[in-house]
Structure 1
Amino acid sequence: MTRPLNLLRYSLIILPAVLSIYVYDYADYDRFTLHLLLLLLLATLGTKLPAPLAAATGGLELLFTAWLCREYGALMIFAAVSAVLWYTRLLPRNRAVIFFCLHLILLNAALAGTAPAERARANLSFLLPAGLNVLLLQAGRGQADSLFLYDELRKKHFELEEARSRLLQFTSQVEAAAQAEERVRIARQLHDDIGHRLIRVKMMTEAAIHTLPAAPGEGLHMVNQIRDQLAASMDDMRSALKRINYTPQLEGAYALDRLLEEVGRDTGIATSYTVQGVPYPLYPSLQVVLYANAREAITNALRHGQASSVRVEVTYTEHEVRMEAGNNGRLPEASPLDRLSGSGGMGLKGMSERCAMVGGTLELRLEPQFTVITRLPVYRQTEGV
């Protein structure tokens, strides 16, 4: 019990006892004082003893207050109210109800010899504070429940903040992994395409040096081919350097419509971007995977399929987001599924691994066009929550 309740409890014992001295005439005031001190002792022991002994002490206090009402008058009913404050707070609800009913019966038995009006006033003086006590208990429980819910909400808030921090760390890791993969791919492109082309230019230059004195026309044609090869190598180098230096931040950097706009502007091919369903915010990790897979699919369509148009369609459903990246280029000679399960080929393995990192899957469709389908699960709270 709290300190104010203890103060009220002792006041309900002491103040009525003092008033009863002026209202009633007792034959032995020393005996009355002894009984009052015994009641205070029982009240004090009820808060100090262990639970089983405290319950026994409460039972004794219940009997003693009823006896005091019989011996010293109806004013001692307030001492009984003091006992109600104790057992309704420290005992389980069922036992407290049993104690209250037994207490009421004992009080009425103790006051059986008094006038009906006095007995009615005593019952009213007992029941009204007891009812007010029940209301205070319910209000206290409501406040305790509110504090508990507040603590739970604060705990959930901390957990969400921690999850958000981990998500941002994971996003940066995914972005770093995507950038590292892109650098590896660019390095391979520099080695495979530009490196081989420069070797071919070197060989053609040596052939032109030997051909020009004997056949100037054929030598000039070879020099023109060397110029074209060098121009193409410079374009590839410029494109690779642009991708290396392009380090956007996460916000707005993975917009698929912007990707297709840049591809169409740089290559001159037709692009199409459509959205099905109602768009909703995606986790940054999902944005990274969709963007990287779309870029890889478009690159493969241009390099290997010689496509003249590409399309990207994103579909939002309740449980997943699906992206279809298709093109009108030629179909691959080998089975794409075989390439997907192998160690390389068209970057499909890397696209599949990216999907697996966030619990998604990669699918391929050959008809009517070669299409790479990225399926990623989403976890959204319902509107009711």
Structure 2
Amino acid sequence: MTRELILLRYGLLIIPAILSVYVYEYADYDRFTLHFLLLLLLATLGARLSRRFSVLTGGMELIVTAWLCYNYGLLMVFPALSAVISYTRLQQKNTALAFFCIHLALLNAAFLHTAPALLVFTNLTVLLCAGLNLLLLRAGRGRTDTLSLYDELRKKHFELEEARARLLQFTSHIEVAAQAEERVRIARQLHDDIGHRLIRVKMMTEAAIHTLPSAPDTGLQMMHQIRDQLSGSMEDMRAALKRINHTPQLEGAYALDRLLEEVGRDTGIATSYTVQGIPYPLYPSLQVVLYTNAREAITNALRHGKADSVWISLTYTDHEVSMEAGNNGRLPEEDPLHKLHHGGGMGLKGMTERSVLIGGTLELRLQPQFTVITRLPVYRQPEGYLAR
């Protein structure tokens, strides 16, 4: 029992005993005191002994309280209520029910020769106490179950966070391994393609040196071929160096700002990237969906909308991350909202399927500019959540 119930139990024993001394006149107060000390001893032993002995003390306590009611008056009903609180919590369900029935029968026998109103009052009081005690017992068990469930959820939360950390670490290892494999492939390309091409240029240069004095036209034609070979080698070298020096920013290989930077550099259009809210790490699946949808939206803007300006706005909230990818191109002739709701083209369909796969949604907005909105749920707890 809780400390509050223990105080209530002993209060129901001691306070009525003190009041009965002032309310009733007894022939022998020493004997009355001895009886109450015996009741207190039974109550104390029942709370401290094992379950087997507590059954014995509980049975003795209900007999003693009924006998006190018979000998010392109506105020002794309250020690009987204290016994009800005790055995309904310390005994098993069937034992407690048997104790209650026996106890109620003994109390009715004790007050059998009193006024009918007192008998009715006694029965209603005992039944009401038993009902309230049962409700408190169920509420306590519900609170215990809730605390146990909370502890289990907190444990699962820690396990999920640990799994997430391992997943991010594993993703980082995969990315590093992929970069290493790509560098090896580029090194082979440099050796096989560019290296062999440079050797061929060297041989053509030597041949041109010997040919120019005697056949200027043939030698000049060979020089043009050498220039073309060198130009191709330079392009291959730039592409290889671009892949080698690729340094991801923000969300790694799926950084939206880098995507816009590359699009602006390759096409010459104006780009804009904004972030609202406080950024936090995203799961790799969310990064991939945002990056892929943004790339598809930009490709459609350039190919179909003939846009000369694109922009991306990323918004972080506690429960979702949303990305708006817009452009100033011309609006499509066919209603894109109708197209989206009826399956859409391959691009819209792919963006929708990727978003829905992880519980998100895809929306289109036509005014003031054509905008593709991707909303993805984020499952995270606020700072300090577990500390509470």
1:154 partnered with 2:150: no
Q: Contact 1:78/1:126 (CA < 8 Å) preserved in 2? A: no
Residue 270 (structure 1) aligns with: none
The alignment of Structure 1 onto Structure 2 pairs a total of residues equal to 295
C-alpha change, 1:261 and 1:166, in structure 2 (3 Å) is same
Superposed displacement of residue 68, structure 1: 1.7
Residue 43 (structure 2) aligns with: 43
Superposed displacement of residue 212, structure 1: 2.8
Superposition TM-score, scaled by structure 2 size: 0.65
What is the CA deviation profile of residues 324-357 of structure 1, one whole-angstrom value per residue up to 9, with x for unaligned ones? xxxxxxxxxxxxxxxxxxxxxxxxxxxxxxxxxx
What is the CA deviation profile of residues 248-295 of structure 1, one whole-angstrom value per residue up to 9, with x for unaligned ones? 22528437998799599859xxxxxxxxxxxxxx94168669989xx9
Give the whole-Å Cα distance in 2 for the aligned partners of 1:262 and 1:29. Answer: 100
Q: Contact 2:251/2:287 (CA < 8 Å) preserved in 1? A: no
- The correspondence of residues 1-385 of structure 1 with structure 2, limited to 5 A, is 1-249=1-249, 251=251, 253-254=253-254, 283-284=283-284, 314=350, 316=353
Give the whole-Å Cα distance in 2 for the aligned partners of 1:139 and 1:162. Answer: 34
What is the CA deviation profile of residues 297-323 of structure 1, one whole-angstrom value per residue up to 9, with x for unaligned ones? xxxxxxxxxxxxxx98846266699xx
Give the whole-Å Cα distance in 2 for the aligned partners of 1:291 and 1:244. Answer: 21
**CA-atom RMSD in angstroms:** 3.7
C-alpha change, 1:259 and 1:204, in structure 2 (3 Å) is farther
Q: Contact 1:171/1:285 (CA < 8 Å) preserved in 2? A: no
Give the whole-Å Cα distance in 2 for the aligned partners of 1:31 and 1:9. Answer: 23
Give the whole-Å Cα distance in 1 for the aligned partners of 2:9 and 2:178. Answer: 71
Superposed displacement of residue 42, structure 1: 0.6
The amino acid of 2:44's aligned partner reads: T
Give the whole-Å Cα distance in 1 for the aligned partners of 2:136 and 2:257. Answer: 62
What is the CA deviation profile of residues 108-131 of structure 1, one whole-angstrom value per residue up to 9, with x for unaligned ones? 122223222221222233223333
C-alpha change, 1:263 and 1:224, in structure 2 (3 Å) is farther
Gaps of 5+ in 2: 268-281, 296-345, 360-377, 380-388
Q: Contact 2:77/2:122 (CA < 8 Å) preserved in 1? A: yes
Superposed displacement of residue 162, structure 1: 1.9
The amino acid of 1:9's aligned partner reads: R
Gaps of 5+ in 1: 268-281, 296-310, 322-379
What is the CA deviation profile of residues 58-89 of structure 1, one whole-angstrom value per residue up to 9, with x for unaligned ones? 12212221122122222211111111111222
The amino acid of 2:131's aligned partner reads: G
Superposition TM-score, scaled by structure 1 size: 0.66
The amino acid of 1:183's aligned partner reads: R
